Chain A
Amino acid sequence: MNFLNRLAALLLLAAACAAPAAADDLLMARSDLMYPEAMMVLQSAIKAQGYTITRLQQVNENLAKRHYKSDMYRVVFFGKYDEVKALAASHPELIPYLPLNITIFAEGNNAIVLTAHPRTLEEFFPDPKLKPIFERWEADMVKIMDTVRESK
């Protein structure tokens, strides 16, 4: 085997090892913090990636109105104005997936946060122009999740 062949084999191996751990599922993290603190960490992690929070959708309160029991539960919506505006104009079929959101709920003394992998959208909307955007969202979401998981 010459050097370049060997190099190619090595590259393949390295790429295989660096492959992402989960593919077809959700991005999830558990926080050791109680729900209110985890919610604060989540919101500041979202803002740290340059997003504006547009709405904190109440869920448990709405259930309680009909006397259904549930622990604290919210969906946090967020986006960047220029990005949402540009995407809605160029790719209106993407609108139902905008703005981005993360679900957070209490579980005992912990909180769980989760969202879909933005990467999944590449499969739904295969336009190569969108790929770098989905990749960036993926990286941002992973960072936000890591921040929530690791804050003590």
Chain B
Amino acid sequence: MIDRAIALLALLVLGAAPALAAPDGARLYSQNCAACHGENGTGGIGVPLALPSFQATISDDYIRKTIINGRPGRVMPSYKALNKDQVEALVRYVRSWNKGKAVTYSALPVKGDPKHGAQLYAEECASCHGADGEGGRGTGVTFSRPRDLPIMAPALNNVGFLASATDAMIKRTLVEGHEGTPMVSYIKKGLTEQDIDDVVSFVRSFERSPLPHNTASLAAEKPVIIRQSPYDLKTTVANVTQAINNNNFFFGRAQPLEYGLVAPDKADPHQVVLYFCNISFLNQALAIDPRVGMFLPCRITVVEHNGKVQVMSVNPKVLSRLFNNSELDVLCDRMQRSYIAIMEEATL
């Protein structure tokens, strides 16, 4: 018994060895962050991290907390499953791009007048960061599609941001700006230090008006949308095709599920996948999140199983959760309604 236990332990420790050894920041970055922030921190779906002007205004603690908190609803994941050493290795790696002296910030609140701050915010900041601090549309700096701003303005009302940035850091950002980005120095733009303190206290006040969260309603969603069809397979396929056209999509093609896996005459004809699209909707979705390929093309499957005919599709709202993008949640809600409309029209 003890022998077996020791053998088991040895096996486990071996398996866990890479996690127990000093973690390699570069490797962790490449595995967890580079897909979005770029191998060299130049940005992509995520914002740039290597810019000297950005590195000059942040602290190690800001990176540390951003990794742990993420930005709920704003694409940046939270890395709660990384252990402390791994997070520290990542912090050191990201900070290796800092050429200046490392800053640390006081946690004390900046004293200002949030009312006056709100007025300045509406005049100076809302055009980029949104009227309620919700941030610019889309993602980071993605080069793969045309965009308004070279870098998306981050969300300032985000719980992950507010929990990671101290007032002093926000103030420094406003005083110095991030050279080389649309975020300029507001001292140079003519605000006084008191004005800036007022804006900072307004930004901090976003903490008191947190955004409604939709996680609870998502938990109730089923992964698949299914409707029973009173018609036979052939009629149902024809109905779905018609309903696709009626609902502002163009019909692409119908294929057996086993298409491409087996010779066409061998494929099971009882599972028919209907592909369709709405190009302008697709373009809108890709601008919000270039990762939406997973939903493409739109498809509904008609299945005959044990004599019963069903139409079914993935539930876009359930998949949307994986993207951590609240703008995408809104589109997936629309997509879900379209799917249901098509399926109900076809099985009426």
Contacts of B321 in A (CB 8 A): 24
* A105 and B290 contacting across the interface, CB-CB below 8 Å: yes
The complex places the Cα of A77 from the Cα of B296 at a distance, in Å, of 11
Of A4, A52, A69, the contact of B145 (CB 8 Å cutoff): A69
CB distance from A150 to the nearest CB of B (A): 9
* Those of B169-188 within 8 Å (CB) of chain A: none
Q: Are B291 and A71 in contact (CB under 8 A)?
A: no
Complex contact B261–A99 (CB within 8 A): yes
Q: Which of A95-131 contact B (CB under 8 A)?
A: 95-99, 101, 103-108, 110, 112, 114-117, 120-121, 124-125
A75 in contact (CB, < 8 A): yes
Q: How large is the interface on A (under 10, 10 to 19, 20 to 34, 35 or more residues)?
A: 35 or more
Are A18 and B279 in contact, CB atoms less than 8 angstroms apart?
no
Evaluate contact between B310 and A92: CB separation under 8 angstroms: yes
A59 to B283, CA, bound (A): 10
Q: Which residues of A contact B51 (CB under 8 A)?
A: none
Which A residues are within 8 Å of any B CB, using their own CB?
3-4, 7, 10-11, 14-26, 28-30, 32, 52-55, 57, 59, 62-63, 65-66, 68-71, 73-75, 77, 79-81, 84-85, 88, 92-93, 95-99, 101, 103-108, 110, 112, 114-117, 120-121, 124-125, 149
Known contacts A30-B39, A75-B296, A84-B257; A17/B283 CB under 8 A: no
Contact of B109 with A by CB under 8 A: no
| Band of interface residues on B | 35 or more
Cβ-defined contact, B279 with A66, below 8 A = yes
In the complex, which residues of chain A have a beta carbon less than 8 angstroms from the beta carbon of B44?
A: 30, 107, 110, 112
- Closest beta carbon of chain B to A117's beta carbon, Å: 8
Q: Which of B39, B144, B286 has the most CB of A within 10 A?
A: B144
Asked whether, in the complex, the Cβ of B268 is within 8 Å of the Cβ of A85, the reply is: yes
Contacts of A7 in B (CB 8 A): 5, 9
Interface of chain B, helix or strand or loop or mixed?
mixed
Question: How many interface contacts (CB-CB < 8 Å) are there between A and B?
Answer: 185
Q: Say yes or no: B293 contacts A70, CB within 8 Å.
A: no
B36 within 8 A of A: yes
Q: A14-B13, A103-B294 are in contact. Are A21 and B31 (CB under 8 A)?
A: yes
Q: 10 shortest A-B CB distances, which residue pairs?
A: A54-B260, A103-B293, A124-B223, A28-B35, A71-B144, A81-B261, A18-B16, A17-B19, A68-B283, A14-B12
Residues in B whose Cβ lies below 8 Å from that of A106: 144
Given the complex of chains A and B, what is the CA–CA distance between A28 and B323 in angstroms? 11
| Across-interface contacts of B279 in A (CB, < 8 A) | 62-63, 65-66, 68
Contact check, A96 vs B313: say whether CB atoms are below 8 A apart.
yes
Least CB distance, B65 to chain A, in whole angstroms: 18
